[in-house]
Amino acid sequence: MADRRPLISGNWKMHHDHFEAIRTLQKLAYRLTNEDAELVDASVHPPFIDIRPLQIVIETDDLPIALGAQNCHWEDKGAFTGEVAPPMLAKMHVSYIICGHSERRELFGETDDDVNRKVKAILKHEMTPILCCGETLEEREAGEAEAKVERQVRAGLDKVKGDQVAGMVIAYEPIWAIGTGRTASSDDAQAMCGTVRRVVADAHGADAAAGVRVQYGGSVKPTNIKELMTMPDIDGALVGGASLDPDDFARIIQFRLQP
């Protein structure tokens, strides 16, 4: 792993009501140490209804865990029934917002242009985007994985300044590995995360490529996190199912301690 501070993010998707979310967060915080907080950044991304309760817990108990969201709209306000605006999330001290997750792209029809507008809106309100990219199994088997990821990264970062890119997070998540129990080999994950960094360097310069944090996501578990995190271009993980269990998620955040 490079010198960039690792970021381990838990995407809770459509799980946990606010009571369950509070219990999970408190159990997670209990399992983490001061050393963990010094060495690794951690964030949790609950459903929207859980954000305010978790904000209160994090700030009241001074927990070393950042608050994140799973999505947002790109407009500050408007007639967009069911959507949540970036400034609403900023008011609740959200630090990271996932944008362009494959489930949003594949199930809800988000386009590269939609994702780009969200990236710029998140940055406008001084939060950090976690820009997602990744290929399907069919695209990988057809040899189109790198081209797909390059297109998504270039489009997602279009007209974003290099110094802003340097502070961002890009999550490479092979769609075929999300929730399936299948994980890209550490070498394959490194190759694709290296592709992400190469594209950033080509489009936004060496400083942006050196600063951006690249996460791997896709069936990340306590048993495979350490090997993934030894790769030079993997700076963290976007964790799905395993982040719902505070014991497993704590062990993932403590990857340096795993056998």
Give per-residue pLDDT as tens, 25-82: 999 999 999 999 999 999 999 999 999 999 999 999 999 999 999 999 999 999 999 9
The residue annotated as part of the active site, out of 16, 101, 110, 139, is 101
Q: What is the 3-state secondary structure (H, E, C) of 183-235?
A: CCCHHHHHHHHHHHHHHHHHHHCHHHHHHCEEEEECCCCCCCHHHHHCCCCCC
101 within a domain of the structure (yes/no):
yes
Has 101 been annotated as catalytic? Answer: yes
Domain CATH number, residue 111:
3.20.20.70
Instruction: Please determine, for residue 21, whether its predicted confidence score (pLDDT) is greater than 70.
Output: yes
Calpha distance 142→109 (Å, rounded): 22
2 within a domain of the structure (yes/no):
no
Q: What is the mean pLDDT of the chain?
A: 96
Instruction: Please determine, for residue 2, whether its predicted confidence score (pLDDT) is greater than 60.
Output: no
Band the pLDDT of 1: cuts 50, 70, 90.
Answer: very low
In angstroms, how far is the first alpha carbon of the chain from the final one?
Answer: 17
The residue annotated as part of the active site, out of 110, 135, 139, 173, is 173
Instruction: Please determine, for residue 168, whether its predicted confidence score (pLDDT) is greater than 80.
Output: yes
1 within a domain of the structure (yes/no):
no
Burial class (CB in 10 A: 0-12, 13-18, 19+), 75: middle
Has 18 been annotated as catalytic? Answer: no
Calpha distance 102→98 (Å, rounded): 11
Tens digits of residue pLDDT in 85-135: 999 999 999 999 999 999 999 999 999 999 999 999 999 999 999 999 999
192 within a domain of the structure (yes/no):
yes
Domain that holds residue 11: 7-257
What is the pTM for the complete model shown?
A: 0.97
Rounded to an integer, what is the distance from CA 192 to the centroid of its chain?
A: 16
Question: 123, 164 in Cβ contact below 8 A?
Answer: yes
Q: How many domains does the chain have?
A: 1
Beta bridge partners of 65: none
